[in-house]
Chain A
Amino acid sequence: MITRRAALLSATALATTAGLPDLSFAQDTPRRGGVLTVHLNSEQRILNPALRASTGVYIVASKIMEPLVDLKADGSPDPMLATEWSTTPDGKAITFKLRQGVTWHDGKPFTSADVQYTAMEMWKKHLNYGTTLQLYLEAVDTPDKYTAIFRYARPMPLDLLLRALPDLGYIAPRHIYEGTNVLENPANTAPVGTGPFKFVQYERGQFIIAERNPKYWLQGFPYLDRVVWRFITDKSAATAAMETGEVLMSNYSSLALADMDRLKKDARFEVSSRGNEGNASNNTIEFNFRRKELADIRVRRAIVHALDIPFFCENFLYGFGKRGTGPIPSSSQAFFPSEHGPQYPFDLKKANALLDEAGYPKGRDGTRFSLRLVPAPWGEDIALWSTYIQQALTEVGIKIEIVRYDAAGFLTNVYREWNFDLATGWHQYRNDPAVSTTVWYRSGSPKGAPWTNQWGWQSDAVDKVIDDAQSELDPAKRKALYGEFEKLVNTETPLWMAIERQFISVTNKRLRNHHNNPRWPSSHWTDVWLAQ
């Protein structure tokens, strides 16, 4: 077993050997105390990560509540509420040994009963992505207070579960939720957890405050007295707050790209995607196969060939992003394949030839046909990307009409009503392709389920590979299956993960020991400290 302290040390060692510029924390001794103010750009309805898997929830609640495992700097599982794990050879029973001597913030002891209740009543019934992950979870046995055995109807690969749990494995207190309406429990906005910080106050539209948990199980931690999250919806106002020092950190690319580029040159800040490796957000192009032009593979390939991704990244994204190679991003150490299958580099000649071949010659005005593009409203990069697609495709004679909606309108039009030709947004990779990536390609998803295959595309070969990989117990074989999967979908291009991106954090350099694991903005912040 590896303790958290050892994990922290190894994180420091890794950071040092990687030759990172900010080495000051290696020399300074951590200081206790201080208030960390963090920028939040949207109001949250629920602050319980056992019910809502979302970055907006994690950035607050992961300091208050804890998952069974988190991620270490090298991407391997970091023991949190679970200290050991093992699986039976058939993969149908996975045993977690739980940490002893942990208490909830209200003083009650943490036991396997909490794990059982959370898994069966929250992850399996309400948690987005959790309901699919735990679809075959039949029961959680609790032979003693510190053992929880997950029983599955179909084999569950241990490595898949461990990679999913940092996001989908938060534990909620049974004694507070049992016998209540889980979705309306007041603890959802005033979370009670076991984490390093205790919830204090949630003032709607203004701030959330959490303070040091003096009885935290990791002795001597956390360093900070308080964490304050401030709601600032306007990007320019948030940048101003960073510059005046009223806010010390902004995560998940919440500032304007131009401002981040400017702050990068300011010695007071670190602007980087370090510590966000576990959270790739690819820019996509989604094709509606109900349009006869787009059902033709030559047209889809032509579209991808017509887009100059390096040019776009350099000139629109200030270099924050690179060409995507397929559904599995390069940051995924466990699954990034060595061969990706066909790639479609920028080539206008080829694009034009493919379109001619498909039987869509240029008309007198130079247009072959027109398409409606529906961009997602989150992220400045998506707006820029859709404008770029429009301009780039004009070059090969495809006229693009951009139709913008807000979040609810986008989801309704694209996923519920299939009212689009091309759509673009973010695909978020969550450590393992089985968590939230393969659903983009697997057929049979019911109409209206967002971020699933709603394109009208179907491939038995791809469906089979996805299903096989989901219950394959041998990690090496799983990796091979996902390599196979990537080759298949890159050949068919039912959608294209055009740009590989990571979220960008802007951090005031007074902060030390930050971004030292692959999902740092969403993790515990136990060891972060503030210099004077």
Chain B
Amino acid sequence: MRILALAGRRLLASIPTLIIIIAGLFILLQFAPGDTVDALVAQMGGGDAAMIEQLRQHYGLDLPVVTRLANYFWHLIRFDLGFSAIYGKPVATVIFERLPVTLLLMASALSFAFAAGMALGVLAARRVNGWPDTFISTLGLIFYATPSFWLGLMGIVVFAVKLEWLPAGGYIDIAAGYTGWRYALDVALHLLLPTLTLGMIFLAIYLRIMRASMLEVLTLDFVRTARAKGLSETAVVARHVLRNALLPMVTLIGLQAGTMLGGSVVVESVFALPGLGRLAYESVVQRDLNTLLGIVFVSALLVITINFLVDIVYARLDPRIASN
């Protein structure tokens, strides 16, 4: 019950956050030079002034900013994200089409980074200052310092162009027309490189946090007590240290959900994945305000949801948190 109350408070607090984010972005975007019609005309390669004016009316861009913002909120209250000027479809449909790819990419990259980061962090902490620690820490530093687009491109060059093991990009093999398990396998193969690329940077962060937090917990009194009880080292690590050392790791997941959405823009571009990050970029370039606001809204919901889940996991790991 306590967990639920905590969750409820959290959710309630997020509503003003959402409103501020959307209104802020709306106003911020008014400062960007040009509107969706300018972007459209650029794509067309020119047109005459009367036609351009007509298009501006068509998209409702001749209305004052305040009216447009009010309209937007009025629609939002009714769970209507508006109409996309680039795609000619409701924004909700456009986002819903793109969301699965991004969610899949985020989930797999996050799981990979978390699992591998945890394992390597534990390993490094147990052999602290030995060669495995040095090796793992150096590796982490390299991954952290490497820009993800470069990592992705090198992945493509090595595994797609030279070795021809993996596809160079895209989400599925269009020509093959797979179904069922073969389809799932195809998607998995296409997502392998993007997942590794997006996961690498986060892996480095998790590794360092895990290592530091393990080292800290290992010095605490209850570990000494556990060892004094005569527990084996593996049991000490697994049952006593790990659970406590995981707390900062879980916090990090919540914090990084947003960062990961941002990072996916680059990865989705490099691998030509039809995800939300790519869509956001495209909407900015095309000045498609409705789509962009829709994406921000959905991403904010996503980040809030993940943080909410993190809070619950947190409370499970450390009951003291829920009782405060």
Q: How far is the CA of A27 from the CA of B227 in the complex (A)?
A: 83
**Are A412 and B46 neighbours in the complex by a CB distance under 8 Å?**
no
* B156: chain A residues within 8 A (beta carbon): 236-237, 240
**Are A413 and B174 neighbours in the complex by a CB distance under 8 Å?**
no
* B94: chain A residues within 8 A (beta carbon): 204
Q: How far is the CA of A236 from the CA of B168 in the complex (A)?
A: 10
* CB proximity of A332 to chain B, nearest CB, Å: 18
**Are B285 and A413 neighbours in the complex by a CB distance under 8 Å?**
no
B20 within 8 A of A: no
**Are B49 and A449 neighbours in the complex by a CB distance under 8 Å?**
yes
Of B105-113, B123-131, B201-209, B265-273, the one touching chain A: B265-273
* CB proximity of A141 to chain B, nearest CB, Å: 25
**Are B272 and A409 neighbours in the complex by a CB distance under 8 Å?**
no
Q: Chain A CB within 10 Å — which of B48, B149, B171, B278 has the most?
A: B48
* CB proximity of A388 to chain B, nearest CB, Å: 23
Q: Which residue of B lies closest to A408 (CB)?
A: B34
Instruction: Please judge, given known A-B contacts A230-B272, A237-B169, A240-B168, whether A412 and B49 are in contact too, CB under 8 Å.
Output: no
B186 within 8 A of A: no
Of B37-45, B132-140, B293-301, the one touching chain A: B37-45
A428 within 8 A of B: yes
A203 within 8 A of B: yes
Instruction: Please judge, given known A-B contacts A240-B161, A436-B46, whether A204 and B97 are in contact too, CB under 8 Å.
Output: yes
Q: How far is the CA of A206 from the CA of B98 in the complex (A)?
A: 10
Instruction: Please judge, given known A-B contacts A45-B43, A55-B45, A448-B49, whether A413 and B168 are in contact too, CB under 8 Å.
Output: no
A334 within 8 A of B: no
**Are B174 and A206 neighbours in the complex by a CB distance under 8 Å?**
yes
B269-297 vs A, Cβ < 8 Å mask (1 yes, 0 no): 11110110011001001110000000000
Instruction: Please judge, given known A-B contacts A131-B51, A405-B33, A410-B42, whether A205 and B279 are in contact too, CB under 8 Å.
Output: yes
* A207: chain B residues within 8 A (beta carbon): 174
* B169: chain A residues within 8 A (beta carbon): 232, 237, 240-241, 246
Q: Which residue of A lies closest to B37 (CB)?
A: A408
* B287: chain A residues within 8 A (beta carbon): 408
**Are B279 and A45 neighbours in the complex by a CB distance under 8 Å?**
no
Q: In A394-435, which residues have CB < 8 Å from any B CB? A: 405-413, 416-417, 428
* CB proximity of B232 to chain A, nearest CB, Å: 50
**Are A54 and B44 neighbours in the complex by a CB distance under 8 Å?**
yes
Of A111-119, A169-177, A181-189, A459-467, the one touching chain B: A181-189
* B274: chain A residues within 8 A (beta carbon): 203-206, 231
* CB proximity of A199 to chain B, nearest CB, Å: 15
Q: How far is the CA of A447 from the CA of B53 in the complex (A)?
A: 11
Of A35-43, A298-306, A340-348, the one touching chain B: A35-43
**Are B168 and A237 neighbours in the complex by a CB distance under 8 Å?**
yes
* A233: chain B residues within 8 A (beta carbon): 269, 272, 278
**Are A128 and B48 neighbours in the complex by a CB distance under 8 Å?**
yes
B47 within 8 A of A: yes
* A226: chain B residues within 8 A (beta carbon): 175
* CB proximity of B170 to chain A, nearest CB, Å: 7
* B38: chain A residues within 8 A (beta carbon): 407-409, 411-412, 416
* A184: chain B residues within 8 A (beta carbon): 88
Instruction: Please judge, given known A-B contacts A204-B94, A206-B274, whether A126 and B51 are in contact too, CB under 8 Å.
Output: yes
* A446: chain B residues within 8 A (beta carbon): 49
B153 within 8 A of A: yes
Q: How far is the CA of A137 from the CA of B39 in the complex (A)?
A: 29
Q: Which residue of A lies closest to B38 (CB)?
A: A408
Q: How far is the CA of A129 from the CA of B48 in the complex (A)?
A: 7
**Are B50 and A131 neighbours in the complex by a CB distance under 8 Å?**
yes
**Are A450 and B161 neighbours in the complex by a CB distance under 8 Å?**
no
Residue of B48, B87, B270 near A45 (CB, 8 A) is: B87
B309 within 8 A of A: no
**Are A237 and B88 neighbours in the complex by a CB distance under 8 Å?**
no
**Are B52 and A45 neighbours in the complex by a CB distance under 8 Å?**
no
Q: Which residue of A lies closest to B167 (CB)?
A: A246
Q: In B133-188, which residues have CB < 8 Å from any A CB? A: 149, 153, 156-157, 160-161, 164, 167-171, 174-175
Residue of A56, A228, A240 near B43 (CB, 8 A) is: A56
Q: How far is the CA of A244 from the CA of B285 in the complex (A)?
A: 29
A501 within 8 A of B: no
**Are A409 and B49 neighbours in the complex by a CB distance under 8 Å?**
no
* B32: chain A residues within 8 A (beta carbon): 408-409
Q: How far is the CA of A450 from the CA of B279 in the complex (A)?
A: 26
Q: How far is the CA of A306 from the CA of B19 in the complex (A)?
A: 54
**Are B34 and A450 neighbours in the complex by a CB distance under 8 Å?**
no
* CB proximity of A244 to chain B, nearest CB, Å: 5
Q: A54-B45, A206-B171 are in contact. List 16 more A-B contacts (CB 8 A).
A: A37-B174, A52-B44, A54-B44, A128-B44, A128-B51, A184-B88, A189-B88, A209-B174, A231-B272, A240-B153, A246-B167, A408-B42, A408-B286, A409-B34, A417-B33, A450-B41
Q: Which residues of A contact B (CB under 8 A)?
A: 35, 37, 42-46, 52-57, 126, 128-129, 131-132, 183-184, 188-189, 203-207, 209, 226, 228, 230-234, 236-237, 240-241, 243-244, 246, 378, 405-413, 416-417, 428, 436, 445-452
Minimum-distance CB pairs A-B, first 3: A408-B34, A205-B274, A128-B47
